[in-house]
Structures are given as structure tokens and as C-alpha cells.
Amino acid sequence: MPPRPGAGAAAQNAIGTAVIGDMVASTFIGIFMVPARYALIMRLVEKTKRKDSCT
């Protein structure tokens, strides 16, 4: 949101900053954290399958 003078300008700037920050955070989570957790869980599943098949 572009900065604007007048009544409520500070609130609009704060809301705009929060929205941009949340968009960056959700993008980071979606691109990096979700695939990393998936890979970790799949690795754990494979280890448990190996242990089960050996006994």
C-alpha cells in the first residue's frame, strides 16, 4: 500500500507492513518448510520399513 497522508495513515501503513510481512513468511513456509518436513517424514518412514522387513 502506498503511504498516504491524512487521518488513519499510521494504521494503514501498519496494516500494509503486516500484510507484506505475512505474505513473505507464508511464501517462505510454502517453499522451504513444507518440502523439508515431507522429506524428513519420508526418510523416517523408510527407516521404519527397513527395520520391519529385516525382522
**Tens of pLDDT along 13-32?**
889 999 999 999 999 999 99
Tally of domains within the chain:
1
The predicted structure's pLDDT at residue 1: 58
The predicted structure's pLDDT at residue 27: 96
Is residue 31 situated within a structural domain?
yes
The predicted structure's pLDDT at residue 18: 95
Residues 30-49 have a mean pLDDT of 94
Is residue 1 situated within a structural domain?
no
Is residue 2 situated within a structural domain?
no
Taking the complete model, does pTM exceed 0.75, yes or no?
Answer: no
Range of the domain at 40: 7-55
Contact between 3 and 15 under an 8 Å Cβ cutoff? The reply is no
SS3 track for 1-55: CCCCCCCCHHHHHHHHHHHHHHHHHHHHHHHHHHHHHHHHHHHHHHHHHHHHHHC
